[in-house]
A and B are shown apart, each in its own frame.
Chain A
């Protein structure tokens, strides 16, 4: 599970999802794009419509009404409960990720307004250790779920993650149970949870809160799955079909309600809240 997207995203620890510079190649069509124009287009390629990965902070900015976001638990930072060390110490990985991203860990949580509707919001950040879920992400998400429960707010979580964080082993595994249990209480209270899946959403994140939305939206062509493509290839010893584990595949299989273009995400969230929110 945690193995999923580290293969494609291993570089995320050392580089940002969107490289600096005036011009940059599109990850979809390789066309050279003017950075400012791409940014103005919500990091969606104007030519091929490729939805580039964006940080949690960028996601928050894109989703909420200007200046309406009030972050919660922003100072919460990871510990190293297992003194985990592989070829590199976990503490060094954390420090490097904090240095390159300027964030404490891989999720932004807080409240804000989406087209005038107040929401509790969580936006995962793939630029921080591949958005892997350790104790901080589990705790911050649980708290925002509880905040939504206590204040009768619709809950929106944008997932973007390679899965559970191996370096916290059992602690990260149990965040799956913790977040899901908090969602059970939110559900008991009649709360609306809109889960937004962006590229990629895999492993323990998919197998917990991400798949528990009352309404599940996904960005076009996002990779969404439980096991990573490499693991599946090794298991079944054959190539994977074209389009396997994309948002469109998940929609056809019956696990995603709607595919939503990034430019429509705000209005779609507002629309669902108007139908189902309190």
Chain B
């Protein structure tokens, strides 16, 4: 991966500094004479990167999850799907580009892929509202998932949203109803559903395509009832670096914490320095998790599948009697 164009997060600055030293040596006409020094610096850079990522705070993890170069749904589609056959529209109102749906082949497996898409260019990001879907996005997702059920195709959802879009139109068109219906209907679809949070798992907007038989998170993604900033603004009365850090920690939003709390089933490790440093390796790991999970689920009778999915969500909660 071409490291020079990599956007550096503030806590990655020491790594970037070593990288700059490497670059300046490599650009010298007599670079060959510095081969040993360059090798040492590379080793130092890799060690520093590994150490930085081994000690990310939850808030720093959120920053990685939002990295502008982090692979998005359509990047994974390009990397792991053969023959992507995108299907548009909710047949009610319009096509929402912030949730994409389509037939795809992953390895030898035919499936339906559903995923939030944030967009890459400024223009695309605006069109996708930075991955914040409207009701028609959730309704499109459900329509295609019900079709997948009909044709016995497994469903793969990729979650990556700061949250469902909070706007005038989205309220008027029933954002809450759209998400609620998805939760109810996904719980009883008679086909395997596997979900992975690939970046941001922002609240109901994430869960709206997240009721699955198996739910995984990429190592540096986050999943929570509210964003750290939203939580900080309400409970700490202001959102700044310090309160966001505190809120991110309190919310237990990392993949590791969600796994520990039994809210997701698996964590998919990312390459050193995060998915954006090696999208291909991340995609390969995601693909094998998807394929293994679906293969396992396809052995179950539909009634068993639906019952186990219900029981999985039924069991979540922490109460005193």
Interface residues of A (CB under 8 A from B): 1-3, 6-7, 73, 75-79, 81-82, 84-87, 135-136, 138-139, 142, 164-178, 180-185, 187-188, 203-204, 206-212, 225-228, 231-232, 235-236, 240-241, 244-245, 249, 253-255
Contacts and interface: CB of A to CB of B under 8 A. Distances in A.
B173 interface: yes
Contact of A169 (B172, B208, B236, B252): B252
B258 A170 contact: yes
Among A180, A225, A244, chain B packs the most CB atoms within 10 A around the CB of A180
Interface string B144-181: 00000000000000000001111110111111110111
Contact of B316 (A178, A182, A245): A178
27 contacts: A2-B234, A3-B231, A76-B320, A77-B320, A136-B319, A165-B225, A169-B252, A171-B261, A171-B317, A174-B313, A174-B316, A177-B183, A180-B187, A184-B187, A188-B188, A206-B176, A207-B183, A208-B179, A211-B174, A211-B176, A211-B180, A226-B164, A226-B175, A226-B176, A227-B171, A236-B168, A240-B168
Contacts of B318: 78-79, 81, 135, 168, 171
Among B167, B234, B319, chain A packs the most CB atoms within 10 A around the CB of B319
B225 A173 contact: yes
Interface in B62-84: none
Contacts of A2: 203, 225-226, 230-231, 234
Nearest to B205: A1
B177 A171 contact: no
Contacts of A187: 184
B314 A142 contact: yes
Given A6-B234, A169-B251, A212 B263 contact: no
Nearest to B231: A166
Given A139-B317, A170-B252, A226-B175, A212 B181 contact: yes
Interface string B240-272: 000000110011110000100101000000000
* Size bracket of the B interface: 35 or more
A84 B250 contact: yes
Q: Shortest 4 CB-CB distances between A and B: which pairs?
A: A227-B166, A181-B187, A180-B183, A86-B235
Given A165-B225, A169-B252, 8 more contacts: A78-B318, A172-B225, A177-B211, A178-B314, A181-B183, A187-B184, A235-B166, A245-B171
B183 A176 contact: yes
Contact of B203 (A164, A178, A184): A164
A172 B172 CA distance: 25
Contact of A211 (B170, B173, B177): B177
A104 to B, nearest CB: 9
B133 to A, nearest CB: 12
Nearest to B263: A170
B299 interface: no
B321 A75 contact: yes
B111 interface: no
B236 A139 contact: no
A232 B166 contact: yes
